[in-house]
């Protein structure tokens, strides 16, 4: 009986110590906007890149460091993109005729794995913090949809990521800056800004060398994201 009681006490102490661990692990989800940018000088002054929706879902692991610092590693499935709208007359690459109000939306699905360092502003139960980090972004799929006056129904086309002139899109290293609040080491609410370089790529049917007359490169600001996220730590 004493041995059983001692065993139970040891297990209880282990759980207590485990609960006081500096480690954290949990799930994260968020929504936001992505893809704003300046109009190219060669385009119509009436054309602009505007934000489109973004969403994220993933996991995180964190560790408390001295001096109110904390290191965090995340693995997030992120969907983002950008939208291009031209109010002037343009030529549609889908129908081969002039049209008005062309609207092109780029959508990109990727895995983003940033490494972040955060600083707790206050050492309280409800802890405001700021963080900064960067990490690799692996694009899994990309597509373009098009709509204009001559083709009001959305037409979609997948991007050939294996083509040599598109391979640089597969890997990037965006930076992420965040500000948020951590509640009782359990729930985290934060706003993040993800910034990466803009990408040019071509929607071509094959991997042939682009000579004069091939489709011009198109621009996407999918690496610019404003994200509002919530995270839940299952190991407080």
Output the 3-class SS for the chain: CHHHHHHHHHHHHHHHHHHCCCEEEEEEEEEEEECCECCCCCCCCCEEEECEEEEEEEEEEEEECCCCEEEEEEEEEEEEEEEEEECCCEECCCCCCEECCEEEEEEEEEEECCEEEEEECCCCCEEEEEEEEECCEEEEEEEEEEECCCCCCCEEEECCCCCHHHHHHCEECCEEEEEEEEECCCEEEEEEEEECCCEEECCCCCCCCCCCCCCCCEEECCCCEEEEEEEEECCC
With respect to residue 219, please indicate whether it lies within any of the assigned structural domains.
yes
With respect to residue 2, please indicate whether it lies within any of the assigned structural domains.
no
Condensed to tens digits (0 to 9), the pLDDT of residues 1-18 reads 444 343 334 434 443 444
CATH number at residue 35: 2.40.160.20
Condensed to tens digits (0 to 9), the pLDDT of residues 118-176 reads 999 998 899 999 999 999 999 999 998 887 666 666 678 888 888 777 777 788 999 99
Q: Which residue range forms the structural domain that includes residue 112?
A: 21-233
With respect to residue 139, please indicate whether it lies within any of the assigned structural domains.
yes
pTM: 0.79
With respect to residue 86, please indicate whether it lies within any of the assigned structural domains.
yes
With respect to residue 5, please indicate whether it lies within any of the assigned structural domains.
no
With respect to residue 54, please indicate whether it lies within any of the assigned structural domains.
yes
The number of folded domains in the chain is 1
């Amino acid at each position: 009986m004493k041995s059983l009681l001692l065993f139970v006490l040891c297990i209880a102490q282990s759980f207590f110590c485990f609960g006081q661990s500096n480690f954290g692990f949990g799930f994260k989800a968020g929504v936001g906007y992505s893809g704003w940018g300046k109009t190219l000088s060669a385009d119509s002054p009436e054309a602009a890149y505007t934000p489109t929706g973004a969403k994220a879902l993933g996991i995180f692991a964190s560790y408390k460091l001295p001096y109110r610092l904390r290191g965090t590693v995340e693995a997030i499935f992120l969907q983002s993109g950008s939208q291009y709208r031209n109010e002037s007359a343009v030529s549609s690459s889908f129908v081969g005729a002039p049209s008005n109000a062309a609207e092109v939306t780029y959508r990109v699905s990727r895995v983003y794995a940033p490494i972040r360092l955060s600083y707790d502003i206050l050492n309280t139960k409800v802890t405001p913090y700021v963080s900064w980090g960067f990490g690799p972004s692996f694009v899994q799929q990309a597509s373009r949809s098009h709509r204009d006056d001559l083709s009001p129904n959305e037409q979609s086309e997948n991007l050939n990521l294996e083509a040599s002139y598109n391979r640089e899109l597969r890997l990037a290293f965006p930076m992420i800056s965040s500000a948020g609040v951590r509640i009782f080491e359990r729930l985290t609410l934060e706003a993040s800004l993800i910034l990466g370089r803009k990408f040019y790529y071509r929607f071509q049917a094959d991997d042939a060398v682009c000579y004069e007359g091939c489709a011009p490169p198109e621009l996407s600001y999918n690496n610019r994201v404003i994200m509002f996220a919530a995270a839940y730590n299952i190991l407080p």
